[in-house]
A and B are shown apart, each in its own frame.
Chain A
Amino acid sequence: METIPQVDRRPAHADWEQRGSVLLTGVLDAERVKAVAGEALMRIGTATPYERDEVSSRRDGSFASPVHCGFLPAGPLLEQLAFDKQLLTVLREATGMPRLVPRGGSVVVYRQGDFQGLHTDTVKATVTVGIALTEGLPAMWWAPSLRDAMPDELAKVVADKGILPECAEFERLEHPPADGSVRAFAGYSIPHWRIPYPGEEPGLLATFSYMDL
């Protein structure tokens, strides 16, 4: 794995710690993203149901609530992008984490009514990158104010506000334009959720996961 040149990473890391998200403008070749979207559409029939009917507090500090959508393992083009060295280098610089390593990617398939309840990603998902492969995916909701909350605390939030809260104290993280820009966010630290998908055509969201050593 290549390391980034010796530069002062503290400002980038402080920003990341404060915001929990960073927008990487035009980091990918837009045509390449289109090709990944084509690949995912071709393979959509192989998606497996991704459903959970429990709320669970996990020992790694992550939290999960009910989900109903589809899971599509990475195809070759998505896999290449998930391990792309240039993307990794930009992410390491933008987050100030030089020891970030890629874990891979997958596609989440949303059919009408599909959702992901409030959750935090595994401890191994220090950084999650989401790329909308179709138009019309609603913005992701997230709760930066609940950063690094213990799972039991999130269970109380869910008990109080439900698994898909849409209230003023939480925020929406809009998808960047489909020009090769991507957004990265702190998937383990910050609770996030996706409200029911309204579209008639399936919605596809590619996600890449990176772990800080």
Chain B
Amino acid sequence: MTLRQTWLAEGRAEVPADAIEPGLWEEIAEEAAHCATVAVVRHNRRPGLLVMRDGSITSPQRCRVHPGGKALNALARSKVLADIAGEATGQARMTPIRYGYKFYAPGDYMHVHRDDGKCDITFSCGLTPNLAPMGWLPRLRYLSTQQVADELQEEPYPQGGEEFSILHRVLSGFDGRRIPHWRTPLDTQSGEVLITICFSDLSVKPS
């Protein structure tokens, strides 16, 4: 299947393992180690699923975050990533609008949620090798936000969910604003680092 076909059918877009130069991953690893020392705690304690007008759902999560520096910026702005984002989503002017490191300590978690309505595609990968798969519910992709919230009934990690692997230094894109997804509490003894990069099409067209 083409990128476009896979995106439409499954809400996924794989980035080839060799798409990003190994040297850049080394720089990113070094940068992340530095950022870890100054990352800020993100701890949303408001219980339950909050349905937002933009189609997103926010819910509790705990980790530490940092927006990154030059190395992550270079990754977010790499042409190959923009090309994959554009081809998969069929959009013309895909631009990385939000990206960062997420530092997970043992027990850190992310309840089921949907990404910001401006995120047309969300890429993620592990910077460390021991991240568990992402839980998600692709069959709920086309339900309205309220329908999703009703269906999930405040369950932080829904039963009957599926998962996709979070690979070490291999990015993969998914339809995070439509497909509810989550991370169960980190059950390793090590700290783990996740990268997320979200793209938005900035073109102006009649709608």
Contacts and interface: CB of A to CB of B under 8 A. Distances in A.
Contact of A123 (B117, B144, B203, B206): B117
A150 B145 CA distance: 12
A213 B99 CA distance: 11
Contacts of A123: 54-55, 117-118
A112 B69 CA distance: 53
Contacts of B178: 59
A106 interface: yes
Interface string B172-188: 00000010000000000
Interface in A128-184: 148, 150
Nearest to B98: A213
Interface of A is mostly: loop
Nearest to A101: B202
A76 to B, nearest CB: 15
B53 A105 contact: no
B98 to A, nearest CB: 7
Nearest to A108: B206
A148 B52 CA distance: 10
B38 interface: no
Given A211-B118, A213-B98, A61 B53 contact: yes
Nearest to A105: B204
Q: How large is the interface on B (under 10, 10 to 19, 20 to 34, 35 or more residues)?
A: 10 to 19
A105 B145 CA distance: 30
B200 interface: yes
Nearest to B145: A59
A62 B54 CA distance: 8
B41 interface: no
Given A60-B54, A60-B55, A61-B53, A103 B97 contact: no
A61 B202 CA distance: 17
Interface in B39-61: 52-55
Residue of B54, B98, B144, B178 with most chain A CB atoms under a 10 A cut-off: B54
Contacts of B189: none
A124 B53 contact: no
A148 B53 CA distance: 8
A101 B204 CA distance: 13
Nearest to A103: B202
Contact of B202 (A104, A121, A148): A104
A95 interface: no
B189 to A, nearest CB: 36
A211 B202 contact: yes
A61 B200 contact: no
A201 to B, nearest CB: 22
A127 B53 CA distance: 17
A61 B54 contact: yes
Contact of B144 (A59, A71, A105, A211): A59
Nearest to A151: B53
B155 to A, nearest CB: 22
Contact of B55 (A50, A59, A101, A103): A59
Given A64-B207, A211-B118, A213-B98, A124 B55 contact: no
> Which 8 interchain pairs have the tightest Cβ spacing?
A61-B53, A104-B204, A123-B117, A60-B117, A103-B202, A71-B206, A59-B55, A50-B206
Given A62-B207, A101-B202, A103-B204, 19 more contacts: A59-B117, A59-B144, A59-B145, A60-B54, A60-B55, A60-B117, A61-B52, A61-B53, A61-B117, A101-B97, A103-B202, A105-B204, A106-B204, A121-B207, A123-B54, A124-B118, A124-B200, A211-B202, A213-B97
24 contacts: A50-B206, A59-B144, A59-B145, A60-B54, A60-B117, A61-B53, A61-B55, A61-B117, A62-B207, A71-B206, A103-B202, A104-B203, A104-B204, A106-B206, A121-B207, A123-B117, A124-B118, A124-B201, A124-B202, A150-B53, A209-B204, A211-B97, A211-B118, A211-B200
